Amino acid sequence: MSATLAQQPQQAERKLASSSSVTSNSNSTVPPEADNHKANKSQIARNEPMATLPFPIQDSLALFTPSPRSAAFVQQEKAALRRHYSRTGRYKHASSVPLNVDAVSAEGENKSTRPSDPIPHPEFTIEDGNITFQVGHMTFKLHLSLLMGHSPVFNAMFYFMAESSTEGTDENPVFLPNLNAIDFERFLRVFYPRRFDGLPFNTGVEWHSVFLVADKYKFIECGIRKLAITGLDLSATCVEKIVWGGRYKIKSLLTKGLREACNREQTFTVRELTQLQGDFLAVELVLKKREEKLRASTSSGRKLVTDEEVSMHFAELLKGAV
């Protein structure tokens, strides 16, 4: 809590600087790429590929950098999303549509500044919740005791909070910086499960969202971080396992991704090379191992790479992973 209060002067300075830039641009025309952006937002909501990219959006990978948005353009995005959800009937109240502007995670986009006029999440604005968070353009009203009981980070944030404090109310929500609303929503679907007889997600991108929040706020003892790794192991593609296993130093995930990349029939596609984001060492080592196994193959079939071989051949990549 003290760290949050200490950041308020810096946030105020950034907010003042951003407000002046918005004022200067508020009367400008909507950028030409606005139509593409509005189409992309609708496609993200329908979980479809974005027209401006040569591959389906990986919303937690930093693969897309949006152009600067004017205040008028942001309002158009909100209106378009409300119309979309109103037509599809996914949410009862079009005025409470979740603004998934944060569905695109981009390096360089300032997610540490609190956006104005947040929208309450239609599902995770819990009636008997006692703490309100703002993540991106959305607010979430949750149970503080549950968060503090399972996360040492949240426990440290709110342990000494005074009862008279207004922080965390609907009027003054606690801002969680450097986090996407779509990632937080997916995490909450695990934290507040509707069913207990199966996993809620079946794609690597969704489980990556859960992992991001669980890792950031140390939901370790309760098992959510481990569950997210299991979900990635079951759902992610071999390239996603290589990228995320290497980024977060998860040895089991990285090992399995490398083994699957070596043993599958096809080599890397252009889409996958883009996802690897210039990890040339991984690409080179995988291709070399594939060639080695191809030369060693016999008429009886191709010999598959084992985990032991991965540990030896990819020792440099696996260094530091646990």
For residue 272, give both structure tokens.
């996958």
Distances (CA, A) of 119 to 46, 68, 93, 254: 20, 21, 12, 38
Q: Which two tokens stand for residue 85?
A: 């959800």
Q: Which region among 9-13, 156-160, 304-308 has the lowest average model confidence (pLDDT)?
A: 9-13
pLDDT confidence of residue 34: 44
Average pLDDT over residues 308-317: 88
Please tell me the predicted confidence (pLDDT) of residue 198: 87
Better pLDDT: 38 or 134: 134
Q: What is the C-alpha separation between 306 and 184, in angstroms, rounded?
A: 36
In whole angstroms, give the CA distance from residue 261 to residue 244. 14
Average confidence (pLDDT) over 50-54: 36
118-236 CATH: 3.30.710.10
- What integer pLDDT is reported at residue 128 of this predicted model? 94
Bigger pLDDT: 245 or 57?
245
CB neighbours of 320 closer than 8 A, spacing ≥ 6? 249
Greater confidence (279 vs 85) lies with 279
In the chain, list all ranges with CATH 3.30.710.10. 118-236
Position 201 pLDDT exceeds 80? yes
> What is the mean pLDDT of the segment spanning 191-199?
91
User: 298 has which bridge partners?
Assistant: 301
DSSP 169: S
139 beta partners: 120, 134
Return d(Cα 239, Cα 284) in angstroms, integer.
14
Q: Please write the tens of the pLDDT for every residue from 207-216.
A: 999 999 999 9
Measured CA to CA, the distance from residue 106 to residue 110 in angstroms comes to: 9
**Does residue 151 carry a pLDDT above 60?**
yes
What is the model's pTM?
0.65
Digit-coded pLDDT (tens) for 54-77: 333 333 333 323 334 455 555 655
Task: Tell me the pLDDT of the chain averaged across its residues.
Answer: 74
Say how far residue 148 (Cα) sits from the centre of its chain: 22
Q: Could you tell me which residue, 3 or 289, shows the higher pLDDT?
A: 289
- Average the pLDDT over 39-61 and give the result: 40
Let me know if 133 is exposed, middle or buried by CB neighbors in 10 A (0-12, 13-18, 19+).
Answer: buried
* pLDDT confidence tier of residue 94, bands split at 50, 70 and 90: very low
- Highest mean pLDDT range out of 15-24, 81-90, 284-293? 284-293
Count of other CB atoms within 10 angstroms of residue 93: 11
What is the C-alpha separation between 148 and 156, in angstroms, rounded?
8
**pLDDT value at residue 86:** 55
Give me 100's structure tokens.
Answer: 């998934």
For the sheet containing 138-142, what is the strand order?
Answer: 119-125, 138-142, 131-135, 174-175
pLDDT at 231: 96
User: Is residue 174 helix, strand or coil?
Assistant: strand
CA distance 239 to 260: 9
Lowest-confidence pick of 64-68, 137-141, 302-306: 64-68
Instruction: Supply the pLDDT for residue 296.
Output: 78
For residue 180, the model assigns a pLDDT of: 92
Ordered DSSP codes for 83-130:
HHHHHHTSSS-GGG---GGGGS--TTS--SSPPSS-EEEEEEE-TT--
pLDDT value of residue 119: 93
Q: What is the separation, in whole angstroms, between the first and last Cα of the chain?
A: 31
Say which amino acid occupies 8: Q
pLDDT band at 293 (very low <50, low <70, confident <90, very high): confident
For residue 61 the two structure tokens come to 């990978």
Highest mean pLDDT among 33-42, 226-235, 312-321: 226-235
Give residue 83's pLDDT band: very low, low, confident or very high (50, 70, 90). low
Burial tier of 92 (Cβ tally within 10 Å: 0-12, 13-18, 19+): exposed
